Amino acid sequence: MLQVRDLHVAYGQSEVLHGIDFSVAPGEIVAIMGRNGMGKTTLMKALMGIVPSTAGDVRIADSDVTRLKTYRRVAEGMGYVPQGRAIFSTMTVQENVETGLSSTGKKAVPGDIYELFPVLLEMKGRRGGNLSGGQQQQLAIARALASEPKVLLLDEPTEGIQPSIIREMGRVLRRIRDERGLSIVVSEQVLSFALDVADRVLVLENGRFVHDAPREGIDEAKISKFLSV
Amino acid sequence: MFDGFTMGELGAIFAMQGFAGLILFSVFVLMALGLAIIFGQMGVINMAHGEFLILGAYVTYLCAQFFEAFLPNLYGIYFFVAMALAFCVAGAFGMLVEWGLIRHLYRRPLDTLLATWGLSLILQQTYRSVFGAREVGVTIPEWMLGSLQLTDLIEVPINGIFVMTLTTVIAGLVAFMMFRSGWGRRVRAVVQDRTMAGAVGINTEMTDRMTFGIGCGIAGVAGSAFTMIGSTGPTAGQLYIVDTFLVVVFGGAGSLFGTIASAFTISQAQSVLEFFLSGSMAKVLTLLTVVGILMLRPQGLFTLKIRK
């Protein structure tokens, strides 16, 4: 569903990602692990076209999106939940979700989105900025789902969120995958969450993938070694 | 200062000056609405906003000339045609300016200020070269002349009532577009977080262009209405731009309701004070009060309460 080939990304002269290769099958959940500063967020931003790539290409379901602007990538099927959530804080919950409809041409939010996150329906008239961190995270996911993505990118979704909600989020992500058959790429530092949701775990270190293993029979000790400083 | 007036006369004076204030209020609101969209929502300081207003006024003038020469029996409705034209011309020109100038200067407020000030000078000279330095006026259609006699002492001009109605309609339309339409939702999203707006699938460049165009178009309509109560000269826009910025900042940038409330306060204070003091003293007093309030409340009268 998502194919990334030899992706290079640089901030000015300093190259941060040195040739990333990976692909995600339809309905697969991939976790990208790595310590701070290893390039997880840069990779996410490069996939969305927020940070320009210097070489390589990105394809969604056989259409090349490498040269497309961010909003066109969304129309091609990329959904993005950024680190820190970045919801529109002065807009109501409902309006936040509706911004995701821009690329689909629909007028109303499909009901199944609120089914996934009943708390958002209760709060749909509230301003996004007045929600708690966990609710904002759900809102950010709902907003991304409104654009009917084929690939959903989540950048550190567990950051600053209480453990019970993290477990709930893992369940919701798997449910989204099962119901909609979309592929999910999630960048993570919390190993337990990654092992809980992912079918495959990749480890990013200094702008390269250094480890790639399916969840079955994964060597937990080895991955935690990559994560500890 | 109230010496020599009876209570009845005083009441009538306050009512009529209050009404004059309402007309001033309407013009302020019309001008400020465009600016509230461009400055309040997009954060672009457009010094040429007054010139877009004058563009609308000149379009109305040309339209009036055309109707006078070729369609004299339809002269009664020329104003509505002129208003639509003024919106389209000023809006289209605004989109052109956004494409050619403003979009290269987002996040560089000082450069924008300088560039749009330059644009305003260019436009002023263009108007002077094309229409001449002398002020031009339009003949107001007959149905808009005269005034309504409410009591023996109080009368209100019909063109004033017309301008007020127009303002109400346009303010309602803008509020509706901003808070109920897909366009308004996109504008507010882009304003808050340009990157994220792109990442939820909003074409941010097109949204910026539309927004700037609509803001300028509304200025054009304001210019059109302006011809009903005053004459138009190449530099008339300059006279109003400071007042308009004052209205938007005082009301709280980004709040449409605040803009309207502040336009009301400033115009009423000015109009009532003007009758009893000289015009410049009225202005000084109003400005001092506004400056004082802004020092205590820098965010303006109305702001949204959001967790930081």
Q: What is the pLDDT of residues B164-220, one digit of tens each?
A: 888 899 889 888 988 888 888 898 898 888 889 999 999 988 998 999 999 999 999
Where helices occur in B154-278 by DSSP H, the ranges are: 158-180, 182-192, 194-199, 204-229, 236-251, 256-276
Cα end-to-end span (Å), chain A: 33
How large is the average pLDDT for residues B157-163? Answer: 83
From residue B209, alpha-carbon distances to A188, B31, B90, B100, B119 in Å are 38, 19, 13, 11, 17
Which of B194, B200, B305 to probe by mutation at the A interface, max A CB count within 10 Å? Answer: B200
Q: Is the pLDDT of residue A173 over 70?
A: yes
**Alpha carbon distances (Å) from B165 to A208, B21, B151, B223:** 65, 15, 22, 15
DSSP B153: S
DSSP one-letter code for B47:
T
Q: Does residue A21 form part of some domain?
A: yes
> How many domains would you assign to chain A?
1
Which amino acid belongs to residue A138? Q
Instruction: Give, in order, the Cα–Cα distances in Å from A201 to each of A194, A209, A219, B296.
Output: 7, 10, 11, 55
- Tokens standing for B226? 């302006």
Q: Is residue A45 part of a domain?
A: yes
In A74-113, the residues whose Cβ lies within 8 Å of chain B are 74-75, 80, 82, 86, 88-91, 95, 98-104, 107
Return d(Cα A130, Cα B116) in angstroms, integer: 37
Residue A59 lies inside a defined structural domain of this protein: yes
In a domain, A37, yes or no: yes
Q: Taking CB atoms and an 8 Å limit, are B307 and A82 in contact across chains? A: no
CATH number of the domain encompassing residue A167 = 3.40.50.300
Q: Residue B151 corresponds to which tokens in the numbers above? A: 């009591």
Give the separation between CA B53 and CA A67, rounded to whole angstroms. 40
Domain hosting A62: range is 2-85+149-227
Q: How close A90 comes to chain B (CA, Å)? A: 7
Distance CA B133, CA B135 (A): 6
* Closest C-alpha among A172, A11, A164 to residue A81: A172
Q: How confident is the model at residue B55 (pLDDT cuts 50, 70, 90)?
A: very high
Q: What is the pLDDT of residues A181-226, one digit of tens each?
A: 899 999 988 888 888 899 999 999 888 898 888 888 788 888 888 8
